[in-house]
Structure 1
């Protein structure tokens, strides 16, 4: 691993290489849950939590698998940890806030198949981050994911009050906004040099 500061790892994961707007990972919840600000914020928090827990577990799993010379079990181990963490989050949200559980709908269990979460575990392993580097990376990725959701939700809420031509209403305008947000985040790539 290069000697990158934790702050740089965080900024890189959240802005420069945003998982949604630069890598196009996690698009399903990005488009599906970003209709309302409240739902987007809570979904972002849930995904960030799962990313952090998965990252910590992936760091330990990787060290263990390297120690026993079984790195081929890495992918399946990460998937099991992610699925278990999402089940935990789902049970907690269902118990603590049934209204939020209903508003997130199918997108809550779909966190399990969110490729952004698996990508965090795989990228941190490939980059050889330390334990705290992995935490900074996961937190940055989660913050970036939440930021993308909140930005999209804010724009979509404002569109409810706008006079949008019929030809671009619905999915078309949503995809146009996503493209513009992606182009905007490309401006952060200069921070990485």
Structure 2
């Protein structure tokens, strides 16, 4: 039941983009079309989940025993960069159109603060490996959900006449703010679930 709580909380209550404001760069840059948003969401989900597993193992079995915790950020970035290169090579071979559509934002997953943030958060929250995997995958789903919903809204916005003063990035930022407010409606859901499960 604890895993269900982590799952729901990471997707809706503490959404990595709309509540914690991490990963805003791809959120604004790759959200023009739903297809591209889904591709980016899948790429981030793969990198985020795999990097969290590897970084947790590195922290637990290498950095902590050797007293090298101060190298955490450097080690985590190296792991994430390696995984992103792997995703880039796979996408280039498997789906060239998606690779072209993601463009510069694919290598930018390396510096996406959401990926590094989750890797560090699971260590700070003292999660075990299974909890870390559930948290990372749920966070990736929340990232993909926010990106896809936002892309759908932007596709609809391109079909309507927006006032001249609100065109371009202005309407995009207002829409992102409203979407963030909508997700704030989920606050308290995790507390209610904890009470229902008798965890608090």
CA distances 1:56-81 after superposition (whole Å, capped 9, x unpaired): 01110111211222211211110100
* In structure 2, distance between residues paired with 1:98 and 1:109: 15
**1:34 partner SS:** coil
* In structure 2, distance between residues paired with 1:115 and 1:154: 24
Partner of 1:145: 143
Partner of 1:81: 79
Partner of 2:125: 127
Gaps of 5+ in 1: none
Partner of 1:114: 112
Q: TM-score, normalised by structure 1?
A: 0.96
CA distances 1:62-109 after superposition (whole Å, capped 9, x unpaired): 112112222112111101000000000001001111111111110000
Q: Could you tell me which of 177, 180, 184 is aligned with 1:179?
A: 177
* In structure 1, distance between residues paired with 2:71 and 2:157: 46
Q: Residue 29 of structure 1: CA displacement? A: 0.4
* In structure 2, distance between residues paired with 1:7 and 1:79: 29
Question: What pairs up with 1:7-86 in 2 under 5 angstroms?
Answer: 7-64=4-61, 65-86=63-84
* In structure 2, distance between residues paired with 1:81 and 1:12: 26
Q: TM-score, normalised by structure 2?
A: 0.93
Q: How well do the aligned residues superpose, as a CA RMSD in angstroms?
A: 0.9
Gaps of 5+ in 2: 192-200
**2:67 partner SS:** coil
* In structure 1, distance between residues paired with 2:66 and 2:7: 31
* In structure 1, distance between residues paired with 2:106 and 2:122: 24
Establish whether residue 92 from structure 1 lines up as the match of residue 90 from structure 2.
yes
Moved over 2 A (4+): none
Q: Residue 192 of structure 1: CA displacement? A: 2.4
Number of equivalences: 190
Q: Residue 11 of structure 1: CA displacement? A: 1.3
**2:188 partner SS:** helix
The more displaced of 44-53 and 10-19 is 10-19
